[in-house]
Amino acid sequence: MSLPAPRRVAVIGTGAIVTGGHLPALRAHAERVELVAAVDVDEGRLDAFRRLAGAQVAGFTSADAMLDTVRPDLVLIGTPPALHRAQIVSALEAGAWVLCEKPLCLAPAELDDIAAAEEASGAYAAVVFQHRYGSGAVHARELITRGELGAPLVAHCQTTWHRDAGYYALPWRGRWATEGGGPTMGHGIHQYDLLLHLLGEWEEVRAMAARLVHDIESEDVSTALVRFRGGALATVVNSVLSPHEVSRIRIDCADATVELTHLYGHGNDDWVYTPAPHVRPERAAAWRTPARNVPSSHTAQLGALLDAYDRGVRPPGSGPDARAALEFAAALYKAAFTGRPVRAGEIGPGDPYYTAMHGDHPDWAPKERA
């Protein structure tokens, strides 16, 4: 059986996430993709990227001009969050599939525009949640969903990172209109997306958020208590105030504790299984991580997306997968800012948190700048 022709790929944005994450992924899948175009409004940065990526890559300063000229099969988006919705919709309307950095867009309402563009074009837009795709995460999810570890009971999800004032010197950071939120949207979303991937649908969120250090519109720390449909209770912490940086998930099931500790990516050795005292050693031995070690990465997720493209089916990380994380973020913000618990499904059209993560709350909504 012959392999399909390489998919023609374009990148929009040529900054660090594209050069450090997407370009290595494209090179790792060189037999399946061909990078044909790059877009950046900064011509110097664009030229530097093209020197790195290869002379065959056409350069554009306009995404629309690139889409009209090149008509790529797949578009990778690594621009600031405020640009995502419009760039995704334009790419879908041009018939291209999309893989976009998180957050996919700034609020649940914007997902409706993306879903409509998918429906009209037959193409799909997925968000980069690369932590789902490492072999350790795949293995853990299989064990949990099959009930091999017993019922999930207690969980902890921790993204405690550190960002200084220089990080927020970029004018689009820390502002609702351009970043969509603070560490809840821009940092912890990877980790709690993985938690949702492992534990399934949630039922109720209670939360708190604060600006403790940084002079920004959004929060610099948030915490949440979460009840899952299956009964498990979880804590979620998202911080950019933590000198000792760590990303961590711990899930205590009836028969075992599974723990993941890393920072920006994980491999098999970062997952640890601790059996309960009543578990027989031979049963626990079957939980060992898979022999093949696939680190979580853009490379792993791109491979999964290309597999879906070849089969003509919705790729992982799109549709319901993308909506789950964004709706959880909206619920966390609403619970934190209103002081009330938020139930799954209550944020819909007509709810202020459906259209903006700040919900027009008087203490959190953007103020007019002098």
Backbone angles phi, psi at 24, to 5 degrees: -60, -35
Q: Where are the beta strands (DSSP E) in 64-174?
A: 74-77, 97-100, 125-127, 152-162
What 3-state DSSP class applies to 299? Answer: helix
d(CA 247, CA 137): 14
Pairing of strands 221-228, 202-210: antiparallel
Walk across the sheet containing 256-262 and list its strands. Answer: 271-275, 256-262, 241-253, 152-162, 233-239, 221-228, 202-210, 342-343
Q: Strand, coil or helix: what is 194?
A: helix
Looking at this protein, which amino acid is placed at residue 77?
I
pLDDT of residue 370: 43
Strand 202-210 relative to strand 152-162, pairing: unpaired
110-116: long-range pairs with CB below 8 Å, 24+: 110/85, 111/322, 111/323, 111/326, 113/85, 113/89, 114/85, 114/88, 114/89, 115/319
In the prediction, which pLDDT does 105 show?
A: 98
The whole-angstrom separation of Cα 90 and Cα 70 is: 13
Report residue 223 as tokens. 């915490």
Q: Point out the residues of the chain with pLDDT beneath 70.
A: 1-2, 368-370
pLDDT value, residue 369: 53
